[in-house]
Structure 1
Amino acid sequence: MSDAVLADTADLWNRLGRKADLRAKAGLTRTVRTRTDAIDLAGNDYLGLSRHPAVLAAAAAALTEHGLGASGSRLVRGTTEIHEAFETDFARHTGTETAVLYSSGYMANLGAVAALAGPVLLDAHAHASLHDAARLAGRPSETFAHNDLDDLERQLREVRPSLVAVESVYSVLGDAAPLREIHALTSAHGALLLVDEAHAIGTIGDAGSGGVPAAGLAGDPGVVLTATLSKALGAAGGVIAGPAVLRRHLHDTGRTFIFDTAPPPAVVSGASAALAVARESDAARAELARRATLAAEALEMPVPAAGVLSPPAGDAHAATAWAARCAEEGVAVGCFRPPSTPDHRSRLRITINTGVPAEDFDRAIAVVRKTR
């Protein structure tokens, strides 16, 4: 390597080091920590299904039969009858014609936006993967003010997008999108509506079918939904669901489908079992709603749409310190700081896990309130 190349490389690492120092001063350093046995108010396992006996048994059986990994992409060797059965069941669960399985929710969102060509209009609070998808897919994109129907209508007229992307339940603030009203506007302006159901599948709607069916939009040809299997289903993977013609288009042209290794059969089998359990978990959903209301009242916040509650925490340093005080008391909470927060305010992020014993949950909320 020449002296000039060595100098350029050294300059790169020095610049990255200086940027890291600036982030540290602003309280924006991210630290990977191993999981502890703290009371879990940080993970997204809303119904406690990641450890459900039926889920673990299904995953173990598939692991024995198929091995650890999928061994290839979906179009090569990665597809098993487990993958196809899950797609069929998920489509039935959400009232869509078809569904396509991916290795992650991020890949599903990227694949959906890339497949549905044209300008994209996104809710300002939509998940980072949707904003990233528009950029990475090279789509012209704009944002409209969060849940602001007047701003959405104005931009539908001015931007004339082919796709509007929202979340049914927002991943940071935990509020719901007015899907019926948004759909009325997108339909009137000839735009397709993409709804990320990550935090709604399993938690809201009839049998946990999500926000789209709850809004009376299941199977509507003007709606495509995406989801991840890593929230209420306690697994991993992602899915796109919509009209049958979309499946063929994604199989033929979708780069995140064609070139990515399929999710492991054992994980998908566990997710299938989790979906079956979630479908029959009305009592757990009622308990989720009860706990969400209890937590919101204790922290003097609006009641969330499902299982996410994010109390404001001042600046990034204050948020980090608050989360650390909770950890010292044996309670794990999320700590969201810019750019993870769409409103640019640092927050704790509390998620409701009905797998946590009720007395532990009550104590954990008391700790969060006490350490504020």
Structure 2
Amino acid sequence: MSQSSSVSRTSPLCPRSMVEPQFLSDHVDHYFRERVEKTWNGGHIMHGRTPGPDGILMVTNDYLDMANHPEVIQAQIDGLRGSDNTVVMSGVYLHGDSPQIHLERRMARWMRMESSLLCQSGYAANVGLIQAIGAPGTPVYVDMFAHASLWEGVRSAGLEWKPFRHNDPSHLETMIERNGPGIVVMDSIYSTTGSIAPLEGLVEVANRHGCVTIVDESHSLGTHGDQGRGLVAGLGLESKVHFVTASLAKAFAGRAGLIACSERLRQFIKFNSFPAIFSSSLLPHDISGLARTLDLIKAADVERERLHANAAYLRRHLDALGYNVDSGEAQMIALEAGPEQSTIVLRDALESRGVFGSVFCAPATATKRSLIRLSVNCNHTYSQINRVIEVCEEIRDEVDLANWPSTRRGGKQQSIRAAAAEAA
């Protein structure tokens, strides 16, 4: 076979492409055939309409509206201009009084932890942490709704996960009694549904049985607790939790991850976590932006109050309309349509009326529990939120709300019929 016969023509931007080996072709074909064609009818579940200028966007994790804050932008600009001696290298080489280490100390003090370690992302933080501390044979007890990065950390460590029922301390205890002490892993606020973990009960069980505890605070750091310190500090659990992790791409609106723990454990993780060893450290302008954001988040009580008021208002009205939304104080509200085809119908119904949420489907959710997540922002107006409520009322029959699995689980059919009768 000549060299020219082993490639195929594609687009002008990519004129030549290698022929795929059969095993790769079969694997990719299965995705396009089973998901794109059969389940999504040739489109993509994640990509619906493009928002117009009047679209109500409920997709961002920037809950406190920090990404475009002029002081954060200026801090990043100053960081770029003052970085003429930038050295790009792995964080294992950082020592002394570098800006990153200074920020790590500030973050730890704010969270009421002894020390902290900044890394490239929340995903890298969770994977690297469990990979580093997971001694062979250690059982890892993972909440069934825990973030994918925590599950991947268990796999990276070569350990066996022991799932426990979502937010269920008694089932966690049963699992530990059956399998012995290990690592207990949970989120404080779960990103898909917005449910809040019963941290006090879970941590008490873990500590009583001699386990290590990891709490991912990605969606509560900055938004919950005094000065936004998170739920671990807010509940006074900082001396009872070994590790607090977080993505700083949520309320901090940056590009980084964090592990807060003791100084001894920080030193161990820094030199044993593969993502920490084999990735470059954060750049100076990232550090500058995050440092200024920390100052602003500490003082953002008004924004936090407005965020929680917006979320409570929307949740209360959606519940009254018959949507089975989680009862809690999180800024994420899930509309769980169930099968992916039903979620596409929901997506299109919302977007055709100018409301845009985030689609969550496998592998982020179970196959039959896909959903649209509405993420509330502190600067959403009541006019916008009322419009979202109006739309969700309008579309109930169109999306077949009464027959969603989540509706049946929550026993909501009766409230839907009552609300419809009242509207009529």
Taking structure 1 as the reference length, the TM-score comes to 0.91
Whole-Å Cα distance in 1 between the matches of residues 93 and 313 of structure 2?
Answer: 49
2:159 is the alignment partner of 1:135: no
2:28 is the alignment partner of 1:16: yes
Partner letter of residue 164 of structure 2?
F
More contact order relative to length (CA 8 Å, sep ≥ 6): 1
Q: Between 350-359 and 310-319, report the one with greater CA deviation.
A: 350-359
1:167-178 pair list within 5 angstroms: 167-178=187-198
The match for 1:26 is 39
CA contact (8 A) 1:288 1:306 kept: no
2:124 is the alignment partner of 1:107: yes
* Number of residue pairs matched by the alignment: 370
1:320-367 Cα deviation digits (max 9, x unpaired): 222233223332201112331258412110111113344333323433
Partner letter of residue 371 of structure 1?
I
2:319 is the alignment partner of 1:318: no
CA radius of gyration, larger in: 2
- SS of match in other structure, 1:353: coil
Partner letter of residue 295 of structure 1?
L
2:221 is the alignment partner of 1:201: yes
- SS of match in other structure, 2:275: helix
Q: 2:364 aligns with which of 340, 344, 351?
A: 340
- SS of match in other structure, 1:47: coil
Q: Between 245-254 and 186-195, report the one with greater CA deviation.
A: 245-254
CA contact (8 A) 2:206 2:213 kept: yes
Q: 1:278 aligns with which of 294, 297, 313?
A: 297
1:130-165 Cα deviation digits (max 9, x unpaired): 011101221221100001111100001112242100
Give the drift of 1:193. 0.7
- SS of match in other structure, 2:174: helix
Whole-Å Cα distance in 2 between the matches of residues 243 and 78 of structure 1?
Answer: 17
Whole-Å Cα distance in 1 between the matches of residues 171 and 132 of structure 2?
Answer: 26
Using a 3 Å threshold, how does the CA distance of structure 1 residues 338 and 8 change in structure 2: closer, same or farther? closer
Whole-Å Cα distance in 1 between the matches of residues 85 and 61 of structure 2?
Answer: 24
CA contact (8 A) 1:293 1:303 kept: no
Q: Between 334-343 and 282-291, report the one with greater CA deviation.
A: 334-343
1:220-239 pair list within 5 angstroms: 220=240, 222-239=241-258
The match for 1:57 is 74
Taking structure 2 as the reference length, the TM-score comes to 0.80
The match for 1:71 is 88
1:216-270 Cα deviation digits (max 9, x unpaired): 11233x4211001001111121000011101110222221111111222212221
1:56-80 Cα deviation digits (max 9, x unpaired): 1111111222279862221347998
Give the drift of 1:299. 1.4
Q: Between 238-247 and 22-31, report the one with greater CA deviation.
A: 22-31
1:111-130 pair list within 5 angstroms: 111-117=128-134, 118-130=138-150
CA contact (8 A) 2:108 2:115 kept: yes
CA contact (8 A) 2:361 2:367 kept: no
Whole-Å Cα distance in 2 between the matches of residues 70 and 281 of structure 1?
Answer: 33
Using a 3 Å threshold, how does the CA distance of structure 1 residues 228 and 34 change in structure 2: closer, same or farther? farther
Whole-Å Cα distance in 1 between the matches of residues 39 and 316 of structure 2?
Answer: 31
Partner letter of residue 103 of structure 1?
Q
Give the drift of 1:303. 3.5
Q: 2:284 aligns with which of 265, 281, 285?
A: 265
Q: Between 337-346 and 235-244, report the one with greater CA deviation.
A: 337-346
Whole-Å Cα distance in 2 between the matches of residues 75 and 111 of structure 1?
Answer: 14
Please list every run of 5 or more consecutive structure 2 residues that lacks an aligned counterpart in the other structure. Answer: 7-17, 320-324, 397-424
What is the Cα-based RMSD across aligned positions, in Å? 2.7
Between the two proteins, what is the percent identity of the paired residues?
Answer: 29
1:234-249 pair list within 5 angstroms: 234-249=253-268
The match for 1:289 is 308
1:89-100 pair list within 5 angstroms: 89-100=106-117
CA contact (8 A) 2:339 2:367 kept: no
Give the drift of 1:19. 3.0
Give the drift of 1:317. 1.4
- SS of match in other structure, 1:96: coil
Using a 3 Å threshold, how does the CA distance of structure 1 residues 363 and 34 change in structure 2: closer, same or farther? closer
Whole-Å Cα distance in 2 between the matches of residues 105 and 126 of structure 1?
Answer: 13
Partner letter of residue 39 of structure 2?
A
1:43-65 Cα deviation digits (max 9, x unpaired): 11111111111111111111222
Q: Between 339-348 and 260-269, report the one with greater CA deviation.
A: 339-348
Q: Between 17-26 and 187-196, report the one with greater CA deviation.
A: 17-26
CA contact (8 A) 1:109 1:130 kept: yes
Whole-Å Cα distance in 1 between the matches of residues 87 and 380 of structure 2?
Answer: 32
CA contact (8 A) 1:108 1:238 kept: yes
Give the drift of 1:18. 2.6
- SS of match in other structure, 2:67: helix
Using a 3 Å threshold, how does the CA distance of structure 1 residues 265 and 326 change in structure 2: closer, same or farther? farther
CA contact (8 A) 1:68 1:266 kept: no
Using a 3 Å threshold, how does the CA distance of structure 1 residues 216 and 99 change in structure 2: closer, same or farther? same
Please list every run of 5 or more consecutive structure 1 residues that lacks an aligned counterpart in the other structure. Answer: none
1:99-146 Cα deviation digits (max 9, x unpaired): 000110000001111122222110111101101110122122110000
- SS of match in other structure, 2:82: helix
Whole-Å Cα distance in 1 between the matches of residues 190 and 345 of structure 2?
Answer: 25
CA contact (8 A) 2:184 2:213 kept: yes
Q: 1:186 aligns with which of 185, 193, 206?
A: 206
Partner letter of residue 124 of structure 2?
M
Whole-Å Cα distance in 2 between the matches of residues 234 and 147 of structure 1?
Answer: 27
